[in-house]
Amino acid sequence: MSKPAILTVDDDPMVSAAIGRDLLARYGADYRVVRATSGPEALDLLARLALRDDPVAMVVADQRMPRMTGTEMLALAREHAPDAKFLLLTAYADTDVAITAINDIGLDYYLMKPWDPPDERLYPVVDELLDDWRQDHPEETSEVRVVGHRWSDRSHEIKLFLTRNHVSYRWYDVERDAEGTRLQHLAQAQPADLPLVLVPDGPTLRSPSTLEVAGALGLHTSAQRPLYDLCIVGGGPAGLAAGVYAASEGLSTVIVEREAPGGQAGQSAAIENYLGFPRGLSGSDLAHRALAQVTRFGAELVLARDVVGFETRGPVRAVLLEGGAEIEARAVVAATGVSYRRLAAPGLADLTGRGVYYGVNASEASQCQDDDVYIVGAANSAGQAALNLSRFAKRVVLLVRSGSLEVSMSQYLVERIRAVPTVEVRLRTEVAAASGDGHLKTLTLRDRDAGTTEDVATSWLFVFIGAAPRTEWLGPDVVRDDLGFVLTGPELAASDAGPRWPLARPPLALESSVPGLFAAGDVRLDSMKRVASAVGEGAMSVYLVHRYLATT
């Protein structure tokens, strides 16, 4: 494969030469920088690149060109470079046009001219855009290979783990890919051995656990110290924020995450109302950025380890891991978040992971190419999934139990969903049953008003309903409500469990019924269930941890 291209478009020869020179100096080793002097010339060049199947990573266009403006050219460029990142060079007066382009043509970023010095104004922007593009386009020579069945729940689990941990891999379906069949034969693998995970310089992994895959890839699966200042359980937005602030302030910190950094938010195709990102960003991108900060400040990350218990040992708090390992710390932040509740309709349990999925990773939407897809849910997560899946599916049907989307979904999402012709919203509708042989083939839908049912053919059902907190590991000493959410601070003091607080001082704002154990994010009672609030609580928890440690 040839180097990915970065195309610059500017009618001013001096500006064109300057932007080309700066991009070539920084990115010439990995990208081919090509230039066009007008919109039509750029579109012709993109068409020729597409015919040669040459990848285009980025298009950098000036807004003020006489024959065709930058935004007009970029709108047409999507046909030839659908996955390229778009960067618009603007003057101050073009700001409104650029903001409109974010919504109308998917502009990724706009940058005011001049961009000198490039080390401060140009390269940080381009670095982030190209990093995002590379995450979505792993090289064809990826060394990790996964061989399995398309409708295998174990294959789905392994692929999801690799994707969410930003490990590029090649997937081979033994039923549809000749290379997959060949690799299975070479490994002398039986059906029970699938999926196979082939890692360079390592043994062939046969139907491995995510812990085994993490170990083979060199990911950290065990803590390095006998005692930490702070152990954070959960690597979602709240946990990662707590990790950034704790490590940057000198606390020895470890984060334990059973799946991958980002938590439930990490699966979101787009977070569009997060402050400071007018274009929005994917949950995966947010997690990737936060993880880089956590690592930079020196916090440890322990992956693929499920937390199964919690103990108080005098001034020390112990987090017990599956398999017998444990981590001791002077304070603990529970940031395990929530998971989607399971649908109770007949047939769904047997088909989970084989056509029925709870949540969906943004990068997996292409698996539904040209199929009919059904989604259950009416909150923002379901709306973002519908928009993302509509890019590939023939039709997306959003099943909503209530009589209105506006009750539970942000207005900007409602408007976008209604503007997509391939997304159908069915109100007052629920899943009554599911059936299939080996994988999902039929859903039975029930009209909640008329009581009538209808069978529809589909291989894809994605569920986004409710929130079940992951708190069973905390044990009986930690007070929770009937649904499992942790009571903290004022809620704890006002509850019937208030007398169980053991100290003379009142509990701190995010402190649980066990001193030194704090809860942040969605796992806490009455939290806002928004990414921004989770990040805020994660940061706030570290301030409270400092106060707690100062008194012990």
pLDDT, tens only, 425-479: 999 999 999 999 989 999 999 999 999 999 999 999 999 997 789 999 999 999 9
Report the CATH number of the 348-463 domain: 3.50.50.60
53-60 average pLDDT score: 92
Other C-beta atoms within 10 Å of 255: how many? 26
Q: What residues does CATH 3.40.30.10 cover in the chain?
A: 145-216
Which CATH superfamily does the domain covering 228-339+469-550 fall into? Answer: FAD/NAD(P)-binding domain (3.50.50.60)
Q: What residues does CATH 3.50.50.60 cover in the chain?
A: 228-339+469-550, 348-463
377-387 average pLDDT score: 93
Nearest to 339 by CA among 430, 463, 237: 463
CA distances from 451 to 399, 429, 446 (A): 15, 10, 6
Virtual torsion, Cα 382, 384, 386, 387, nearest 10 deg: 170
What local confidence, expressed as pLDDT, does residue 141 receive? 42
Virtual torsion, Cα 263, 266, 268, 270, nearest 10 deg: 140
Residue 87 forms beta bridges with which residues?
60, 109
3-state class percentages of the chain: helix first, strand second, coil last, to nearest 5: 35, 25, 40
151-156 average pLDDT score: 92
Report the CATH number of the 5-136 domain: 3.40.50.2300
Is residue 435 classed as helix, strand or coil in its secondary structure?
strand
The answer to whether 280 touches 270, Cβ cutoff 8 Å, is yes
Asked whether residue 45 carries a pLDDT value surpassing 80, the answer given is yes
What local confidence, expressed as pLDDT, does residue 362 receive? 62
What local confidence, expressed as pLDDT, does residue 366 receive? 80
Classified by CATH at the fold level, domain 145-216 comes out as Glutaredoxin (3.40.30)
The residue to which tokens 């990911």 are assigned: 219
Other C-beta atoms within 10 Å of 419: how many? 9
209-216 average pLDDT score: 94
